[in-house]
Structure 1
Amino acid sequence: MSEMPDTSPEGASLHAPVARLLRPLVRLFVARGITFPALINLLRELYVNVAEYDFALPGKEQTDSRVSLLTGIHRKEVRRLRGAGAPVSAVPAVVSRTSRIIARWLADPHFTDGQGRPLPLPRAGEDGEVSFESLVSGVTRDLRPRAVLDEWLDRGLALLDPQGRIVLAEAAYVPKGGGEPQLYYFGRNLHDHIAASVANIMGEAPRFLERAVHYDGLSAELARHLERRAREIAMEALAQANREAHAACATDPGGDHRWNFGLYVYAEEAPPRRAPQGSGDAA
């Protein structure tokens, strides 16, 4: 069976939005040395994996021929690539541990002030007293709080104030530098945003909330102002969601589901449009 380059009419309608979606990713690929042949190999593996696991017919064994038909990839290649199992996105240990400690510091009323801001914490305290030691030990006992503190100070996630108390740094909210934590959340958050949009397109009715407020034709000053204000609103919403989720988890029996609530803010200099200045929309 030969490669099949043809695209269905439904697929053709996706060309423009997919090209726009992929453009910033291609910029990242080129910057990070992911060549076009390397990307093709990755896409080939993903096409086979998705067809094998997401498009299997109930009660029927998925065949090489059907995967080849769905993907346009030759059966020999399908046979070689099948059976690898659905990809699992493992959470790096440092990401899981750090995110859980920060989430508690931002949500637990014992570690926040009246406005929900994280309190400066002494290194240690007596039994039951609020401290960095009690914060960490309440999440994990596999690591010494001093080791966690040394790591956070080195990474800029925490600072020491003049009183020697530990302060959560702004850097702790958003991993930076293209390291493992940032790249993990890059994959996770973009996956979930795209997955929500795809589910809404493929379903009979929108299942997930996926909306944005956008204005074009703005001055640079107003764009900067709206970006700053949007950050404030977003952080307030994230903090509230984190507090409620943290409190609810205390009585939840646990299970195999996960939940993600995300926000993004973006602004750029864009070519002028014919729409009236200041025109806006929510979609």
Structure 2
Amino acid sequence: MSETAQTAPEGAGLHAPLARLLRPLVRLLVARGITFPALTDLLRELYVNVAEYDFALPGKEQTDSRVSLLTGIHRKEVRRLRGAGAPVSAVPATLSRTSRIIARWLADPAFTGPDGAPLPLPRVAEGDAPSFESLVAGVTRDLRPRAVLDEWLDRRLVFVDPLDRIVLAEAAYVPRADGNAEAQAYYFGRNLHDHIAAATANILGDAPRFLERAVHYDGLSADLAARLEARARELAMEALQQANREAHAACQGDAGGGHRWTFGLYVYTEAPPAARPRTDAEG
């Protein structure tokens, strides 16, 4: 059966956007040794899981036949895969702890200066004065601040200045290419999931629900593209830090619950593509 015959007419218009969306992902998969059969196995599980839970009819039991109809996967395979649950991307413990401490350092007025920048902190301070020890203790009592400091120094998230103060390095909130692989993989999945989930909700909904916009210019010189990228980084960091400060302050009086919120930004520039055959799906 041809690809066209397997796709509902209302989905045909997504072929070209999907090819554009998936191309960098396929590049990553090939570079990391994830083969097409391995990806197919994962997609088969996800198709069954999404059909089983997201497309169940109210008051009716979801059947193997209906899941097979929705997904195009044989009922025998559906029966084998149902109930397996979708892959869960749990937050690594060290990443969760690190993110919470850094978020507080960037947002809490006790640990930031008049300009909102994170203050250099003494290791230990007398009384109620801010210190690295009080910063860590305010987030977790499970680890000694000294152990956190040693870990962060090793990862180059902080450094010690000539006055023996702990200074938050740019690498703490601008991830390095040679940074923690576990953290990169986690945020790769989380950030792209949330971006695609927002865009999908806007397409499937009656009206756009989430803000999902971009400013883009083509036909630029390499110099202008580089200058715009640098300026965009500055604007993005300002917006992220301001959002973090306001969210941190708002959380202090919140009753808590099961909801979560994400505010994300990205910056991208691209050189002219090398000569390569263009697929029909790319348009």
TM-score normalised by L of structure 2: 0.92
Counterparts of residues 252-263 of structure 1 (less than 5 Å)? 252-263=254-265
Counterparts of residues 1-283 of structure 1 (less than 5 Å)? 6-176=6-176, 177=178, 179-270=181-272
- Is the Cα–Cα contact under 8 Å of residues 52 and 82 in structure 1 kept in the other structure? yes
Structure 2: runs of 5 or more not aligned = 274-283
What's 1:274 paired with? none
Distance 2:211 2:99 in 1: 24
Distance 2:175 2:240 in 1: 16
DSSP-derived class of the 1:208 partner: coil
Question: Per-residue deviation at 1:252?
Answer: 0.2
Distance 1:238 1:90 in 2: 23
Question: Per-residue deviation at 1:113?
Answer: 0.7
- Is the Cα–Cα contact under 8 Å of residues 48 and 81 in structure 1 kept in the other structure? yes
Distance 2:137 2:265 in 1: 30
Distance 2:127 2:272 in 1: 57
Distance 1:196 1:180 in 2: 24
- Is the Cα–Cα contact under 8 Å of residues 46 and 86 in structure 2 kept in the other structure? no
- Is the Cα–Cα contact under 8 Å of residues 4 and 72 in structure 1 kept in the other structure? no
Question: Per-residue deviation at 1:50?
Answer: 0.5
Please identify, of 80-89 and 149-158, the stretch whose mean Cα deviation from structure 2 is larger. 80-89
Which whole-Å deviations, capped at 9, do the CAs of 1:47-106 have from their partners, x for residues lacking one?
001001110001111100000000000001000000112443211101110000000000
Distance 1:180 1:89 in 2: 11
Which whole-Å deviations, capped at 9, do the CAs of 1:12-69 have from their partners, x for residues lacking one?
1111100110000011001100001000000000000100111000111110000000
Distance 1:144 1:126 in 2: 18
Which whole-Å deviations, capped at 9, do the CAs of 1:95-148 have from their partners, x for residues lacking one?
110000000000001111111000111111123120000000000001100000
1:235 aligned partner, one-letter code: M
What's 1:281 paired with? none
DSSP-derived class of the 1:166 partner: strand
Distance 2:174 2:196 in 1: 20
Question: Per-residue deviation at 1:4?
Answer: 10
Compare relative contact order (CA 8 Å, sep 6+) and give the higher one, 1 or 2: 2
1:251 aligned partner, one-letter code: G
Distance 1:165 1:158 in 2: 10
Q: How many residues align?
A: 269
Distance 2:5 2:48 in 1: 16
Distance 1:25 1:266 in 2: 15
Structure 1: runs of 5 or more not aligned = 272-283
Which whole-Å deviations, capped at 9, do the CAs of 1:176-207 have from their partners, x for residues lacking one?
43610111011000000000000000000000
Distance 2:4 2:65 in 1: 13
- Is the Cα–Cα contact under 8 Å of residues 158 and 168 in structure 1 kept in the other structure? yes
DSSP-derived class of the 1:215 partner: coil
DSSP-derived class of the 1:167 partner: strand
Question: Per-residue deviation at 1:224?
Answer: 0.6
Please identify, of 199-208 and 7-16, the stretch whose mean Cα deviation from structure 2 is larger. 7-16
Consecutive aligned runs of 4 or more in structure 1 exceeding 2 Å deviation: 85-89, 174-178
CA RMSD of aligned residues (A): 1.4
TM-score normalised by L of structure 1: 0.92
Question: Per-residue deviation at 1:9?
Answer: 1.4
1:110 aligned partner, one-letter code: A
DSSP-derived class of the 1:214 partner: coil
Distance 1:123 1:68 in 2: 60
